Structure 1
Amino acid sequence: MARPAHAAFDKQKTVAENRRARYEYFIEEVFEAGIALTGTEVKSLRFGEGSIAESYAEVKGGEVWLVNANVPEFSHGNRYNHEPKRPRKLLLKEREISRLHGAVERKGMTLVPLSVYFNGRGRAKVELALAKGKNSADKRQTIKDRDWQRDKARILRDNR
Structure 2
Amino acid sequence: MSYRQIAEADGTVNNDTVRRNLAAANAAPDAPTKITGADGKSYPSTKPRRSTYQEPPEADEDVDPHLRNLAAMRIKGRALRHYAELMQQIEPATGMHNSPGTKKVGARPFSRTDAARAAGMSPHQHKQAMRTGNIPADQFEDMFERDDPPTVSELADAALCNNHCSLT
The structure with the larger Rg is 2
Which is richer in strand?
A: 1
Note whether the superposition's TM-score is higher than 0.5. no
Which is richer in helix?
A: 2
Q: Which has the higher contact order (CA 8 A, sep 6+)?
A: 1
| Superposition TM-score tier, normalisation by shorter sequence | under 0.3
Question: Taking structure 1 as the reference length, what is the TM-score of the superposition?
Answer: 0.21
Question: Taking structure 2 as the reference length, what is the TM-score of the superposition?
Answer: 0.20
